């Protein structure tokens, strides 16, 4: 099964992908995680994209498509997996068209796009309170999903930090970019791919159950 999780920043794509990847035996591929990893490792790519991420703009389509071509191709060789789950990609019409080309070459297709529907006020609250583990990338929220010990990851004991792009002015910029460049991707898929819209404003467990219901 090959899935795309779609929704604005802070809609819960990463949280739900982490919960559902094991049940459905999918590789969770997050473009944001891949790009942040490149920045953290100080690679050539990381140096090129660091300021773009910090300012909440989009990395160019050619860079992102090259990353995704490698990541999706790698899933094919892993017999323990039944497919992939894309989180944060595609984010422009150009990326959606590029993904079509990659999938055509690999003889694969998207089985469903799951849209997490959340209003702007809710995502601002969520992103302002998000804390991310520097080691294992687990995601918490200071109120909705707090760690047992403040600042310490429940899963691996790593340090929890606030992402640089989760500052108020950058959150606003990311939401504007979503409205202008990413939301139109929904029209690209409408009528061509199965789409399920889920109320992403409910609590984490309820959203997980709603996604499971539409996918099984």
Q: Which residues are catalytic?
A: 13, 91, 130, 163, 174
Applying CB under 6 A, among 6, 84, 140, 189 the residue interacting with ligand AP5 is 140
User: Residue 5: beta bridge partners?
Assistant: 87, 114
C-beta closer to ligand AP5: residue 83 or 129: 129
- Residue 29 backbone dihedrals phi, psi, to 5 degrees: -115, 110
Q: Residue 64, interface with ligand AP5 (CB under 6 A)? A: yes
Single out the residue of 145, 207, 186 nearest to residue 20, CA to CA. 207
Number of other residues whose CB lies within 10 A of the CB of residue 104: 10
The tokens of 6 are what?
Answer: 């779609």
Q: Is 31 in the site for ligand AP5 (CB under 6 A)?
A: yes
Q: Minimum CB separation from ligand AP5 for residue 79, in Å? A: 28
- Evaluate the CA torsion angle 11, 14, 19, 22 in order and state its sign: positive
Based on the shown chain and the rule CB under 6 A, indicate whether residue 160 belongs to the binding site for ligand AP5: no
Residues that bind ligand AP5 (CB under 6 A): 7, 9-15, 30-32, 35, 52-53, 56-59, 64, 88-89, 91, 95, 126-127, 129-130, 139-141, 144-145, 165, 174, 203-204, 207
């Amino acid at each position: 099964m090959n899935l795309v999780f779609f929704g604005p920043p802070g809609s819960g794509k990463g949280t739900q992908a982490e919960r559902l990847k094991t049940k459905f035996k999918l590789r969770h591929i997050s473009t944001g995680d891949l790009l942040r990893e490149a920045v953290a490792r100080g690679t050539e790519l990381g140096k090129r994209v660091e300021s773009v991420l910090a300012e909440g703009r989009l990395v160019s389509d050619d860079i992102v498509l090259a990353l995704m071509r490698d990541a999706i191709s790698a899933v094919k060789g892993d017999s323990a997996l039944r497919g992939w789950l894309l989180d944060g990609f595609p984010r422009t019409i150009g990326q959606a068209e590029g993904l079509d080309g990659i999938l055509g070459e690999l003889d694969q297709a998207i089985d469903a796009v799951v849209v997490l529907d959340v209003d702007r006020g809710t995502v601002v609250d969520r992103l302002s309170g998000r804390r991310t583990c520097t080691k294992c990338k687990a995601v918490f929220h200071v109120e909705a999903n707090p760690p047992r010990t403040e600042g310490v990851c429940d899963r691996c004991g790593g340090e929890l930090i606030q992402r640089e792009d989760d500052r108020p002015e950058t959150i606003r910029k990311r939401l504007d970019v979503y409205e202008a460049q990413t939301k139109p991707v929904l029209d690209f898929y409408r009528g061509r791919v199965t789409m399920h819209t889920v109320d992403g404003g409910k609590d984490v467990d309820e959203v997980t159950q709603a996604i499971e219901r539409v996918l099984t």
